Amino acid sequence: MQAHIRFNKSIRSTLYYHEQKQKLGMAECVAAGNFLKDLRDLDLWDKQYHLQRLTSLNEAVSNRVLHIVLTFHPDQKLSNQQMAGLAGEYLDRMKLAHQPYLVYRHYDTRHPHVHVVIAGVHKDATRVHLTPADYHKSWNIVDEITLKHHLVQSPSAEETRKRQVLKIKYGEMALRPSINNVLNKVLSQYKYPHLEGLNAILRLYNLQAYRGKEGSDMYLHRGLVLRVLDENGKPLLGYFKASRLDGNPTLDKLEKRMSENLKEELRQQHRQRVTTLLEWNITKKSMDMTTLEKALQREQISMVWMKDGRRDTQKLFFVDHATRAVFDGAELGSRYDAVTLRQRLPLTQVQEQKQVLQHRQRHRLRYEL
């Protein structure tokens, strides 16, 4: 069992999303708490009215809906009643069970999961606020519920290691099947909103999707090739046309996928986890960029530095392997772009200044000799 927490701004759009899924047979409302009617008597108007009536007590609150997704292992067989019970127990231990809430079970992925929609304002007109400590509390509660109810746990580290796709190494493995293995994993499982985001993920495997230089024939004709990179991110000789690889991952096909990944409902679902973990670690006194990177790796988040093609600067991306989402640091907010993040980590600035001084001293010594 896993819990992903986020806040939404609109009650109407949040409910509409789940109700539309329900109409299409891809979701089902399996529980409701603290409404004036029983679940079987609630219609969309009742749900929306009751939630809005509460949030209207404080018009200053912008995030009017707390939205929690509880996800279970694909092998876990749970009835609607069991899922509703687990959601209720989680909310009770998070001290949220007193709020009006709805539990929707979705059937659109291989992983069994429920979406819990909760009013973002308390009865005393104060907003529902979660601190970084609450998110860590949530992870502990999830672990305890998993053990208590003997739920199927995530694969062990050894099983995960056996299943992982290997980084491509030029001259050490057959390139075409290795590239196909990476693409088969990344293209279908990760949520990349643009080609830069996709390349941030592929960079972890020494691979790049390349359109050619702007203005070139390949660029103008919307061509796409896959290039193998060295450990420093520089392209090696040769390339493979996307149209000749498994699944025919052409630019047209990728753009359709990117368009789906751009939907704000999907993006918001995982943004909160990344920013919370960043803030939790940045505030630590002994934190520098290297230590931050290691801390995020323990939470299954990779930091990927890439050159900005339009400027002579670096861009920072965060690839969350737990939720399979990728974010440009600037997309998360001005506090998380490459420049600002360096400024927020004083130890990093000190280390970089030492490196500059050491370089100058070596250069001066070489000149004097």
| E strand or H helix at 117 | strand 113-119
Alpha-carbon distance 248 to 264, whole Å?
27
pLDDT number for residue 158: 45
- Phi/psi-derived region of residue 62, left when phi > 0, alpha when psi is between -120 and 50, beta in every other case: alpha
At residue 310, the pLDDT reads 61
| Every domain range in the chain assigned CATH 3.30.930.30 | 2-148
**240-241 β-sheet, strand order:** 207-210, 225-228, 240-241
Helix (H, G, I), strand (E, B) or coil at 287: coil
Tokens representing 113 are: 């999961």
Decide if 145 contacts 90 (C-beta within 8 A): yes
Q: For residue 208, give the amino acid letter.
A: Q
The string of pLDDT tens digits covering residues 285-298 is 678 888 899 989 98
Instruction: For the chain, list residues with pLDDT below 70.
Output: 154-165, 264-266, 269, 285, 309-312, 346-369
- Give 216's Cβ-side CA count (13 Å radius): 10
Q: Which residue is listed with tokens 């941030």?
A: 200
Which pLDDT score is estimated for 160?
Answer: 45
Q: What is the pLDDT of residue 264?
A: 64
Using CB atoms within 10 Å of the CB of residue 213, give its burial: 0 to 12 exposed, 13 to 18 middle, 19+ buried. exposed
* Residue closest to 240 by CA, chosen among 226, 259, 229: 226
CATH code for the part of the protein at 2-148: 3.30.930.30
**Residue 327: other Cβ atoms inside 10 A:** 25
Diameter over CA atoms, the chain: 88
Both structure tokens of 164: 């992982």
pLDDT attached to residue 368:
54
- The structure's pTM equals 0.55
